[in-house]
Chains A and B, each alone.
Chain A
Amino acid sequence: DAMVIQNPRYQVTQFGKPVTLSCSQTLNHNVMYWYQQKSSQAPKLLFHYYDKDFNNEADTPDNFQSRRPNTSFCFLDIRSPGLGDAAMYLCATSRDREADTQYFGPGTRLTVL
């Protein structure tokens, strides 16, 4: 089945220790997104790629970076995680333009100690 896969599902890191989350998709979608969702809050868009074109949200902290080496994979790098970065990180994809239907992966729960 075509799908969006995220690894790991649970990630524990120490304060200030860099961490990388990964997302892969077999849908062959052009657009990939990274969201941050904290408890009882709406998903917050961090950035997205339209093919290789990177789009950063204005309020995304510099601590967060992303890479998309090819169509199938996208990575979220958190350079120096703080306690406030503990959250669920969601990867989503859409076939085409930004307003198209988005399909989410299972998410990665990040804990910062």
Chain B
Amino acid sequence: QKEVEQNSGPLSVPEGAIASLNCTYSDRGSQSFFWYRQYSGKSPELIMSIYSNGDKEDGRFTAQLNKASQYVSLLIRDSQPSDSATYLCAVNIGPYFGNEKLTFGTGTRLTIIP
């Protein structure tokens, strides 16, 4: 069964600390990886996309990809109360290139403690 797995949390992090969110995926052929933030009752909002092994930084956010180990992570530096949300990992999974489907994990609920 091809899938995306995340720790559902809740993950509690003190304000100003680093929040680390992890995601593993089953399809070794996956090429596109995304992190979405979803506030309660709202729709997912794209935070980061990553396609190559290594780190990608955007402001306080860093996405890390390791295709050999089939995991992708999101680091949030200097965590703020406004970062409290559910973070969805999404991975393209499919039978062949160009016919993939974006598959979501169930999300990790993050709470930043003031």
* A residues whose Cβ falls under 8 Å from a Cβ of B: 40-43, 45, 88, 90, 97-107, 109
Contact = CB atoms under 8 A, between A and B. Distances in A.
> For chain A, what secondary structure do more than half of its interface residues adopt (helix, strand, loop), or is it mixed?
loop
Interface of B: 4, 8, 31-32, 34, 36, 41-46, 49, 88, 90, 92, 94, 98-102, 104-107
A110 B42 CA distance: 13
Nearest to B104: A42
Sort A-B residue pairs by CB-CB distance and give the 9 closest, nearest first: A99-B92, A42-B104, A99-B100, A107-B43, A104-B43, A99-B32, A42-B106, A104-B44, A43-B104
Contacts of A42: 4, 88, 104-107
A109 B41 CA distance: 9
A105 B46 CA distance: 11
Given A41-B106, A45-B102, A88-B41, 6 more contacts: A99-B98, A101-B49, A102-B34, A102-B90, A107-B42, A107-B43
Contacts of B99: 98
A68 to B, nearest CB: 18
A102 B67 CA distance: 21
| Most chain B CB neighbours (cut-off 10 Å) among A45, A99, A103, A104 | A99
Contacts of B44: 43, 90, 104
Contact of B43 (A45, A97, A106): A106
Given A42-B104, A42-B107, A99 B94 contact: yes
Given A97-B98, A99-B32, A90 B106 contact: no
A90 B41 CA distance: 12
A23 B97 CA distance: 28
A101 B92 CA distance: 10
